[in-house]
Structure 1
Amino acid sequence: MRETMKADQVSHSKMKVTEIGEFLRKPPAGFSVVALSSGYRVYSDPEETLVLIDDFHSCRGNIVFQKSLGRKVKVNNLWEYTSFRKSLLSRRIYLLMSACEEHFPVSNRKAASETRCNLNQMLKQYVVSIDGNDPFIKWQMEKGLDWTISSVAGESYRVDIDLTEALESWTDLVKVEPVWRDASFTLKYYSDALFDFPHWFGFSKRTFKLRLT
C-alpha cells in the first residue's frame, strides 16, 4: 500500500466507509449494539436500513447483525423480488468488506481481489454503506436490475452487484491502494420453471458495477 489508512471513518457524498471497531463503538443512526461475553449483537431498524452482512468471527468475538438478509439474498417469486428491489432503491445499504494489503502487480489486481486474504494480508474490516435512494446510485441499480430480468425473463437467475469501482473512488480520497474482498452482494431469483436450461448451464449469471461518479 502507498499509505496506511489514517481515519476509521471516511465519508463520500454517496458512500460511507467505517472501520468495524468504530462502527461498534459509535453505531450510526438506526443501529444499536449490545456487547456480549462472546462478542457483539447489532440491531437495526429494517424500515430505515437494508443490512446485507453475514455473521462473522473477528478478534472481537462473534458479531451478529440481527435482521440482516445476508450477502446473498434469495427470492422465489415476483412479490419477494419487488419487495427487495423497493428496499434497495429507497434505503441505505450496509455491507461488510475487507481491505487487504497489496501483494500483486496492479495489472493483476482483479485476480488478487478474488483471492481470500489470510490474516497477515488483511488490514482492516469495514462496514460500507451506500445510499440506495441517491439519484445516481438508484439509476444504476434500476438499469442493472431491469437488464438482468429482461434478459432471462421467466427463468432463474443470479446477479452480482459489484462495488469495487466505487471503493476505488473512495480510496482516491485517502490515497490508499488496497485489494478489496467481498466487495459485492448477490440477488438470486429461483423460478418454478420446469425446463430452466439457461440457469442449469450457468448462462443466467449477470454482474453489474456501481460507480460513485
Structure 2
Amino acid sequence: MDVIELESFVNNPPHGFSVESRAGCRVVKWDQESSCVFIDEIQSGKGKVVFCNSPGREVTVRTLGEYTDLRRQLTSKTIYILVSACHETKVDEKKKGDVQAFGYYVVAINGNHPMIRWEMERGLDMTISSVAGESYTVDVDVSDALQGWVGESYQILVDAGKIKPIWRDTHFTIKYRSDALFDFPYWFGFSKRQFKVTYHGR
C-alpha cells in the first residue's frame, strides 16, 4: 500500500504512469495491464487533472462476464483511488459533519497481496450471494486500510500548522445492473452493500 499527495503523483508519476500537459490540464496515462484506476477528473490547486480511461469512482457491470473480468482485475492488479484530506472546523461542526478539503491523495493498494485478495473476494462473494439475480451497488471502502497505514498520530502541514486529517471519499463503487423487470429490492434501496479493506502492515 502507498499514499501519495496528488501533486507529487503528477509531478513524479510512479512506474506504469505518465503525464502529458494539454490545453490547461494534465492528462495521466497508465498501464491498464497492471493497474485499476478509479479516479474522477479533479480540479487541483494547480489545474485540472484527468486520468485517461478511468471509469471514475463508479464502475458499472451488466453481465456475469463483465463482473468476472472486474473481479479478476481487482484481485490481480494495483488499485488506485483518490481520497480527500479534510479538516473539520467549529463552523463545520455546527453543520453536523460538513468538512473542508485541503488536500488530495492517491491511495494505491496491491490487490494481488494474499490478504487483500482474500478480503476482496470474500466481500464480493458476500455481496453476490445476498443479491443473486438482482441489481446491486457495493462500496469498496479503504478507510480502515488508509488509517492503519498513516497511523493515528499522522498530521499534515497546512499553512505553517499541523492538522490531523479526516479522510473522505475513501471508496469506489461497483454497480451491477440486472435485466430483471421487477427488481424491487434495488428500486427500494435494499441492494446496497459495503465492505472494508483493512491494513496488514508495511
1:86 aligned to which of 72, 77, 87: 72
Structure 1 segments, 4+ long, off by >2 Å, are 173-177
Change (3 A) 1:158 1:101: same
1:194 Cα deviation after fit: 1.4
Q: What does residue 32 of structure 2 align with?
A: 46
Q: 1: CA distance between counterparts of 2:38 and 2:147?
A: 20
> Counterparts in 2 of 1:34-73, with a 5 A limit?
34-73=20-59
Q: What does residue 19 of structure 2 align with?
A: 33
Q: Which has the higher strand share?
A: 2
Q: Deviations over 1:145-168 (max 9, x none)?
A: 000000010000000011111111
| RMSD across aligned positions (CA) | 1.6
- How many residues matched? 188
Q: Deviations over 1:79-132 (max 9, x none)?
A: 11111111000000011111011337xxx9xx73xx4x4xxx322110111000
Alignment pair present for 1:179 and 2:195? no
TM-score, normalised relative to structure 2: 0.88
Task: Give 5+ residue unaligned stretches, structure 1.
Answer: 1-14
Task: Give 5+ residue unaligned stretches, structure 2.
Answer: 156-163
Helix, strand or coil at the partner of 1:100: strand
Helix, strand or coil at the partner of 2:151: helix
Q: What does residue 11 of structure 1 align with?
A: none
**More displaced 10-residue stretch of structure 1: 144-153 or 194-203:** 194-203
TM-score, normalised relative to structure 1: 0.84
Q: 1: CA distance between counterparts of 2:9 and 2:154?
A: 22
1:174 Cα deviation after fit: 5.9
> Counterparts in 2 of 1:94-109, with a 5 A limit?
94-103=80-89
Q: 1: CA distance between counterparts of 2:29 and 2:144?
A: 29
Q: What does residue 154 of structure 1 align with?
A: 133
Alignment pair present for 1:20 and 2:6? yes
Q: What does residue 76 of structure 1 align with?
A: 62
